[in-house]
Structure 1
Amino acid sequence: MFNISSKNDKKALRRRLSKFPLPRISPLPSGWKGAIFGVSIVTLFICLVQAFYYLGSRGVQDYFVGTILSILAVLGLTGLVAGVLHWAKKMPSRYVWFLLASIGLLYLSFLGPLPLTLSILLCILFSFSLLGALLYRFIKGSYREAARWVKVTASSGIAAVFIFICVLGYWLTCGGFAELEVQYPLQTVKTADNYSNSVANPAEPGTFRVNSVTYASNPTYRKDLDTQGRLTTKTVDGSAFVGNWSSRRTNTFGFGPEAMPLNGTVWYPEGDGPFPLVLVVHGNHLATEFSDPGYAYLGKLLASRGYILASIDENFLNISPYDDLFILDGLEGENRARGWLLLEHLKTWESWNASEGNPFHSKVDMQHIALMGHSRGGEAITTAAAYNQMTTYPEDATIKFDYHFNIQSLVSIAGTDMQYQPGGQPIELHDINYLSLHGSHDMDINSFVGANQYFRTRFTENSHYFKSYVYIYGANHGQFNTVWGKSDAAGIGNMLFNNSEILPGEQQIQAAEVLISSFLEATLRNNHSYRMVFQDLGYAKEWLPETMYISNYWDGNTTTLTNYEEDSDPGTTTLPGGRLEGDSLKVWKEDKVKMELSDEQYSAVFLEWDNRSASSTPVYKVILPDSGIDITDTSTLVFSIANHDTGQEAHEADTLVDLTISVEDETGNVSRLPLSNFSPLLPMFEGVLAKRPLGFFQTIKEPIFQNFAFDMNDFIKANTNLVPERIRKISFIFDQTTKGNILMKDIGIRNDKK
């Protein structure tokens, strides 16, 4: 150490230091300064708006702290990158730094499909960089001595960029540029005269007066549930079902995973009961914007029709950007907890039903229970159904299960699939009724993954259970929940999506009410008239909004002839002893069905034909075994087909495919009916999710299987000599449409038991 005291010593030190000059940062030209200002201002504005969406519900302090920390973190990281790139000297490192920071912050704000998001980011950053550079140079007088043509060019550039920004701003803030086009509405496709209904519209309110009550373990966390007459529940220890619960999350909600609350809002009918019990659970959304109130419309409707419905609070398991450090430190494995909590709620309801003095004593029909879930909740209900049958927790066998509730029915609304697999295995459901609803314009769960669980649901032979799905053209993800609404993306990210081409919210809710209420009437009350809605959606055409639907159906009363899952031989049927034959087909193979964005999970037969080049009429035949098939005049031939128009011209893809269904008995009597007797095969629905003209960046077009059912009586009417008990051949003759490309699955014989 040494001491510098005299002036001479200081001068000597300065002389020594001058030999090692510090790097000098040269001032930026005015244009680059303006570019930084332009990019920074628009980025800061967008970030403040998006941060309000993420953090505004937490209060002013958390909003500003979270926003500032996020911006500083991105600036720090991109500053390092800009420093590394400084050696290139192609652009000032400070501009590169701010540009990279803007790209990071803007991408986190939009979080849309990568190609679409990057395109919009480039437009924003380029236009505001150029506008900022030109304006700043004008303000600093850089063009004062310039030639007239330079001034005119710069002024024109500012005007052009400004117009471009206005157009871009309009594109971002508008809902879209076209309305939903419904080419083949259900009401037009289903024109048969036999759709007479002797039952009431299931979406109409029932005769019961509706009451409501809340229950909660932690009213401090959910003050809105601390209502008069509130019921008190115990907390449950869910620490084994969720990981990485941070202290920040504990501070936000006031509890940790060892003290998860059992909270809910109940709508129930006034009367003695007992009434079937329905639990509905939301999916992933902002944890501080509560999702469970968004199903009040279902609660009020179903309670008026004699059900008890509880909307379950699992918001504390949802994404919380502040607590999760955006997405860097979020919960782990929380989907397990979502399903487990539903069973803990059922334990509470079982206790209330058995406790004298409780308002629900002896009013709950615990033998008729349904679980409904939306988004991740749609997967949570299958997890709950799987846990309900298990004796131990598959991730830790030291934790014992003893639930075994009589869960009769599951309703998945735009549900996820396989985000959690117990013991690493996909969930297979057995002997439980299952319904999945999904929209063609779902901008969150883009692929119809609910179909995976549909095909993984199986029944004991001759059981009363059934499964169905309904694919709704124009429906999006969020409008099944009134809190979520049109917003399928987070905040500003919605500006990228095509909200003008989705069903109006009230129509989407109407579809949900009709289908869910019908399903519960059929499965919890065994009302066969409402089961017919899923066997043939035409029975609901007067109740459903006017759009296109593709539905599928299978039940325990159906004998499977072939489902294409038994082996890789295209010539064998699932039912032993049968054969499959094809003639003059352009393509005939069995393979896994590929959806747009989901894994291949189930198989089908791929059939393509072109009569213009075929040597004879193309046909696909199912040869039945000599014995063992129960077919009578009351039986129904069922199968499902999906249009698979990949590679076809646009006008051909929109053609309604028709073909001939033929049955032949062992003495050679043949009866034929056109497919269109039941319904034409609809084209693949195209969901244009991104705004036009950039819709091609995010378009969903998937093969969705449509069920068909032909009564044997109709075949007998076409040929009175036909003996159904002796039918040995079923043929699909491709003589009605010149060319086509389809998938076929699940051919069977149904013998309904009333």
Structure 2
Amino acid sequence: METKKEKVPQLLSVIKLKRNRIKSLSPGWKGASFVLVLAVLFLFLIQAHYLLWERGFIDFAVGSILFIVVVVLLCGFITLLVHGIKKMPSRYLWLFLSSFVLLYICFVGPLYVSSAVVLFIIVGLSIWGAVLYKFIQGSYKNTTMLKKIVASGSFVSMTVALGFAWFWVVNEGESEVAGVTLKELKNSPRYDEGLLKSPIAKGRYQVSTITYGSKNSYRKEFKQHNSLLTRTVDGSSFLEKWSSLRSKTVGFGPEAMPLNGSVWYPEGEGPFPLVVIVHGNHMMTSYSDPGYDYLGELLASRGYIFVSIDENFLNASPYNDMFMISALENENPARGWLILEHIRTWKEWNADKKNPFYQKVNMDQIALIGHSRGGEAIAIATAFNKLNNFPDNGNIKFDYNFHIRTLISIAGTNGQYKASGKTIPLENVNFLALHGAHDMDVNTFASASQYNRVSFTNKEDFMTASVYIYGANHGQFNRRWSRGDGVGMGNQLFNLKQLMSRADQETIAKVFISAFLDGTLKNEKEYENIFRDIGYAKEWLPDTIYISNYKDSNTNFISTYDEDIDLLSTTIPGGKLNGKNLQVWKEEKVKMKYGVDEYSAVRLGWNGSKNSDTTSYTVVLPDEGITFTENSSIVFSMADSSERKTTSYHKDLIDLTVKVEDKNGNKASLPLSHISKLVPMIEGKLLKWPFENLGETKEPVFQNYSFELTDFKQVNSHFNPLALQKISFEFDLTEKGTILMNDIGIRN
């Protein structure tokens, strides 16, 4: 029997024999491999720098090497599996697969685009490297002239192709179709009356700053000599998969989360309304909360205590989450809950005579602002604020009941968290949603859903509004986030040239946020005009396309299209809806870029070239349930839904006639353009050529309209606004089109 000592030399001999049988790579494959290795490592280290450098050099080096080793080993295993059917050397196949994974991490984005770009890079570099290496090795010296010409032509062609690819990657893209601007749409003299003061003018207060944090805060800015001290809070019941690496990085676990915040406040007696802003999901160690200082400086000067809170320790971290294999889960409700714990702290300070904010905070006037995932967190916080228990665990008690009056969602997400499986409803709160048409992260108008889930049940004044902004992206609302919304080099897949400047996007945020806060927290009702009709803000806004929607608690809605399946019935019983000569007439849930939303509208389509008769849609008001005054207005929301390719926003504007009739048969008409024509769907071509038309590039966004009944009285003096009976929409000014309409009502 052989001993173990005798077996070892035999095993080594077998391994050596097997190794000697491995065929060496030909010069072409060697060149392809050599160039591909260098290029992939270079690109991957750039991306690793973006993801890991802020953690320090050691974490950057360890994380990069570890990830490369894992990918290479995994792809080596896959290579062994396909070894039997290989058409290329196994070592190159191994390298090909490893390169694909590493480059995909570099150019992470839409699956089909990232895959196409990565494959082009790998194949292009491989061909270029193979031909170059064979030239260097002299492989073409003794070949025919035809082969030399083909090889030279291939090398030159691939050099040009790779040069073009590099230019494509570093280039910002192309500008989009020029849009019809706000000043072109809103050119009525009534906007020039100068009744409103600028909402972005610096206020009368001097601004001071301070920070606060817990003793175990992982960031020095919250532990300054004058920083206020806060307690830690236990959020472990809300979270899953908080890794030990995450605890090591931040210095605490989910059971001891800090309450950290940066404060901009006015120097004065007060009390001042409290405004809390929370960031969204970004790299955990690339801190997002300082990025709203431009809002803090403005709002504090105008008499608000502005707080940007730190929830970065809940954000994504490829290093701490084992390259997202074990990512932190269920952090959305924790984000909302943390906001309430911050407000609890402010309530305690406001009652503490030893605290510098003693009786300086108006706890009856609280506003929450959230960006991205924070936009959903503020809705979660507001819902939790009125509950006694956590919806997903009744053993967790709530006792908040703060006076949260106003919410502002900036590029907010929606539906990532569902309480007891349901989306978040909100009651009796003011709500504003801002969203960029060129958002490359939340690239559908997600917070429009939350806008439509706000209801009013009491007699107080509340309003909801939304503004969709041509040329605005996701990140430029935060000064710490980049111009691109992707991850590192993944940004280079997107058409960045079409974006407005960061300064313009910040101006837009300041105008709408400041005006909304003044209107809802300081009772300066004149600022509501900006949201009823955005033309009143054109003096302060960058001149681009805006689509704005609005509704308030003073509106009696005749038809919201959510009540039943009867096309003729109205939301208020007793009314009637009639269509005449319409090509399309149906009620439906609104289809957005990525699925069907929760709210409904009526779809109306017409084509005057195929029908010479009058095409109309008429609302017959019920005899009871609606009251009118001399100052009443007809309101409705409308969105373009035409299936046409937008080649000119000017050419594709929709106009129609709005006609009213009283109980005595007196009629009056005004064109839709009396307020403004309807803008076609904004086509946000987010990706560069040749991918710009792939996927969904546009979706219907609703524009609100408000026609004062006195305006119709001026058209026909016999028309009696107090006896309004019918509202008709006649499709006679644009030959053909399709629209969605909802929220038809009377505002007093």
Tell me which residue corresponds to 1:712.
709
Question: How many Å apart are 1:155 and its aligned residue?
Answer: 2.6
Give deviations 1:127-159, integer Å, cap 9, x for gaps. 100011111212222223223332333233222
**Which residue is 1:141 aligned to?**
138
Matched, 1:280 2:239: no
One-letter identity of the residue aligned with 2:737:
G
8 Å contact 1:558–1:748 — kept in the other structure? Answer: yes
Query: In structure 1, what residue type is equivalent to 2:186?
Result: K
- Which amino acid counterpart does residue 44 of structure 2 have in structure 1? C
- What is the CA distance between 1:197 and its match in structure 2? 2.8
SS of alignment partner, residue 594 of structure 1: strand
Tell me the residue number matched to 2:288: 291
* Structure 1 position 702, deviation (Å): 0.8
The AA in structure 2 aligned to 1:722 is: F
Contact 1:689 1:698 in 2 (8 A): no
Show the 5 A alignment for 1:607-618.
607-614=604-611, 616-618=613-615
TM-score (norm 2): 0.97
Is structure 2 residue 319 aligned with structure 1 residue 322?
Answer: yes
Structure 1 contact 557–750 (Cα < 8 Å) conserved: yes
Tell me the residue number matched to 2:693. Answer: 696
Pairing 1:152–2:149 present: yes
Alignment partner for residue 520 of structure 1, among 514, 517, 521? 517
Provide the C-alpha distance between the structure 1 equivalents of 2:14 and 2:576, rounded to a whole number of angstroms: 94
For 1:217, the aligned partner's letter is S
Question: Which of the numbers 477, 481, 487 marks the counterpart of 1:480?
Answer: 477
Moved more, 718-727 or 632-641: 718-727
Q: Tell me, yes or no, if the aligned pair for 1:577 and 1:624 is still in contact at 8 Å.
A: yes
Alignment check: 8 A CA contact 1:584 1:615 kept? no
Q: Aligned runs of 1:595-744 on 2, under 5 Å?
A: 595-614=592-611, 616-647=613-644, 650=647, 654-697=651-694, 700-744=697-741
- Residue 648 of structure 1 deviates from its aligned partner by 6.1
Tell me, in whole angstroms, the C-alpha distance in 2 between the residues paired with 1:486 and 1:338.
25
Match of 2:576 among 560, 574, 579: 579
User: 1 CA distance for matches of 2:380 and 2:467?
Assistant: 21
The partner residue of 1:347 within 315, 339, 344 is 344
Whether contact under 8 Å (1:176, 1:500) holds in the other structure is: yes
Q: Does 1:546 align with 2:534?
A: no
TM-score by length of 1: 0.96
Q: Residue 693 of structure 2 aligns to a residue in which SS?
A: helix
- Paired AA for residue 180 in structure 2: Y
Letter in 2 for 1:341: L
Answering whether residue 470 of structure 2 is matched by residue 470 of structure 1, we say: no
Q: Is 1:358 the equivalent of 2:350?
A: no
Q: SS at 1:424's partner residue?
A: coil
Looking at structure 1, the residues matched to 509 and 221 of structure 2 have their Cα atoms a distance apart, in angstroms, of: 26
Aligned equivalents of 2:207, 2:606: Cα separation in 1: 56
1:678, distance to aligned residue in structure 2 (A): 0.6
Alignment of 1:17-166 (within 5 A): 22=18, 24-166=21-163
Residue in 2 aligned with 1:395? 392
Q: CA deviation at 1:116?
A: 1.3
One of 449, 452, 456 as aligned partner of 1:455: 452
Cα contact 1:461–1:559 (8 A) shared by 2: no
**Secondary structure in 1 matching 2:660:** strand
**Does the CA contact (< 8 Å) of 1:219 and 1:226 recur in 2?**
no
Equivalent residue, structure 2, for 1:206 = 203
Q: Is the contact between residue 412 and residue 446 of structure 2 (CA under 8 Å) also seen in structure 1?
A: yes
Question: Does the 8 Å CA contact 1:689/1:699 hold for their aligned counterparts?
Answer: no
1:476–1:648 CA distance, 2 compared to 1 (3 A) = closer
After superposition, what is the alpha-carbon deviation per residue over 1:64-112, rounded to whole angstroms, capped at 9, x for unaligned? Answer: 1111111111111111111111111311121111111111111122111
Match of 2:378 in 1: 381
Q: What is the CA–CA distance in structure 2 between the aligned matches of 1:647 and 1:540, rounded to whole Å?
A: 30
Tell me whether 645-654 or 354-363 shows the greater mean CA deviation: 645-654
Contact 2:368–2:407 (8 Å) recurs in 1: yes
Q: Deviations over 1:424-470 (max 9, x none)?
A: 11001100000000000000000001100001111125430000000
Deviations for 1:514-542, whole angstroms, at most 9, x for unmatched residues?
Answer: 00000000000011110110010011010
Q: 2:184 maps to which residue?
A: 188
Map 1:241-320 onto structure 2 (within 5 A): 241-320=238-317
User: Counterpart of 1:605 in 2: which secondary structure?
Assistant: strand
Alpha-carbon distance between aligned partners in 2 of 1:89 and 1:331, rounded to the nearest angstrom = 39
Task: Return the letter of the residue paired with 1:733.
Answer: E
Distance 2:159 2:733 in 1: 57
Aligned in 2, Cα 1:648/1:617: closer, same or farther, shift over 3 Å?
Answer: farther
Whether the aligned pair in 1 keeps the contact of 2:572 and 2:625 (CA below 8 Å) is no
Q: Does 1:236 align with 2:249?
A: no
| Cα distance in structure 1, aligned partners of 2:290 and 2:204 | 23
Q: Which amino acid aligns with 2:355?
A: N
CA 654–66 in structure 1, closer or farther in 2 if over 3 Å, else same: farther
By how many angstroms is 1:21 displaced? 6.8
SS at match of 1:661: strand
Tell me if the contact between 2:216 and 2:251 (Cα under 8 Å) persists in the aligned partners. Answer: no
Report the more deviating stretch, 163-172 or 366-375: 163-172
Does residue 529 of the first structure (1) align with residue 543 of the second (2)? no
- Contact 1:182 / 1:547 at 8 angstroms: preserved in 2? no
Question: Are the aligned partners of 1:461 and 1:558 in contact in 2 as well (CA < 8 Å)?
Answer: no
Q: How many residues align?
A: 746
Structure 1 residue identity aligned to 2:264? W
CA distance in 2, matches of 1:46, 1:426: 41
Give the AA of the match of 1:194: R
Is contact 2:649-2:680 (8 Å) kept? no
Secondary structure of the equivalent of 2:706? strand
Distance 2:359 2:637 in 1: 43
Write the deviation string for residues 568-605 of structure 1: whole angstroms up to 9, x where unpaired: 11111101111111000000000111101244211100
Q: For the residues of structure 2 that align with 1:124 and 1:19, how far apart are their CA atoms? A: 36
> What is the alpha-carbon distance in structure 1 between the residues aligned to residue 620 and residue 598 of structure 2?
26
Partner of 2:165: 168
Distance (Å, rounded) in 1 between the aligned partners of 2:171 and 2:11: 65
Partner deviation per Cα, 1:310-339 (whole Å, 9 max, x = no partner):
000000000011001111111010011100
1:430 aligns with 2:432: no
2:201 is paired with a residue of what secondary structure? coil
Give CA deviations for 1:368-410 in whole Å, capped at 9, x if unaligned. 0000000000000000000001010111101110100000000
Moved more, 544-553 or 653-662: 653-662
Q: Distance in 2 between the 1:45 and 1:15 partners? A: 39
Give distance in 2, aligned partners of 1:10 and 1:276.
Answer: 82
Query: 1:225 deviation in Å?
Result: 2.7
CA distance in 1, matches of 2:687, 2:4: 69
Q: Structure 1 unaligned runs (5+)?
A: none
CA distance in 1, matches of 2:99, 2:464: 49
Range 286-295 or range 567-576, more displaced: 567-576
CA distance in 1, matches of 2:483, 2:736: 39
* Structure 2 residue ranges without an equivalent (≥5): none
The Cα of 1:633 is off from its aligned counterpart by 2.0
Structure 1 contact 282–373 (Cα < 8 Å) conserved: yes
